[in-house]
Amino acid sequence: MNPRQIVEVFALLAAQCLDALIARYEGIERPTVWTGLFLQPRGGGEPARCGALEGLGTFKLHGRGCQFELESGADVDVDWDAEGRAVFDSWRVLMYARSIGVTSVDQESLRQAASEVATIVAIGPDNFTWPDQRYDLTLGGG
C-alpha cells in the first residue's frame, strides 16, 4: 500500500468505527477534569469506557480519544480536540500502518498524503478531520 491508500483506508475505518459508536451511544461526557471520557448508552444503562462493536472489534476510551482494535488486528486511534472535533494526525496513521504490517512508509509521507486526500480536511499542519463534522462531540457535557 502506498501512503495515500493507507490514509484513505485509515480514514474509512475510523469513520466506520465512529459510526458504530454513534449507533450504540448517544453522548460522551467527562464528569470531572480528573476522570476519563465516558460514553452514554442509547436507551440508558451504565456509562462505558470500553466495549465491543459488533462486526468491527473493540474500543477503549483514553484521554481525549478512542482506540479501536479491529477484528483484523488493525489499530485505529482518534482524538477529540478542545473544540470537540474528531481528529487524527500522521502518527496515528503510522501506528495503523504498523498494525497491518506496513513498514515501508514514514510519518512525513503519511502527513503529506493526508493533506492531499479529498475525503478529509487538514485543520493544522498535522491535524486532520472529516469535512461533515459528523463525528464531532461536545466534551464535558452529556
pLDDT value at position 139? 38
pLDDT value at position 32? 59
pLDDT value at position 83? 82
pTM (two decimals): 0.90
In this prediction, residue 3 has a pLDDT band, given cuts at 50, 70 and 90, of very high
Task: Choose among 103, 131, 126, 123: nearest CA to 113.
Answer: 126
pLDDT value at position 141? 37
Cα separation, 63 vs 45, whole angstroms: 22
Q: What is the rounded average pLDDT of the residues 77-87?
A: 89
Cα separation, 82 vs 105, whole angstroms: 30
In this prediction, residue 140 has a pLDDT band, given cuts at 50, 70 and 90, of very low
CB-CB neighbours of 41 under 10 Å: 14
pLDDT value at position 142? 36
Query: What confidence tens digit (pLDDT) does each residue in 84-101 have?
Result: 889 999 999 999 999 999
CB-based contacts of 137: which residues, under 8 Å, 6+ apart?
A: 27, 28, 80, 84, 86
pLDDT value at position 48? 87
pLDDT value at position 40? 82
Q: What is the mean pLDDT of the chain?
A: 89
Q: What nine digits make up the cell of 95?
A: 501506528
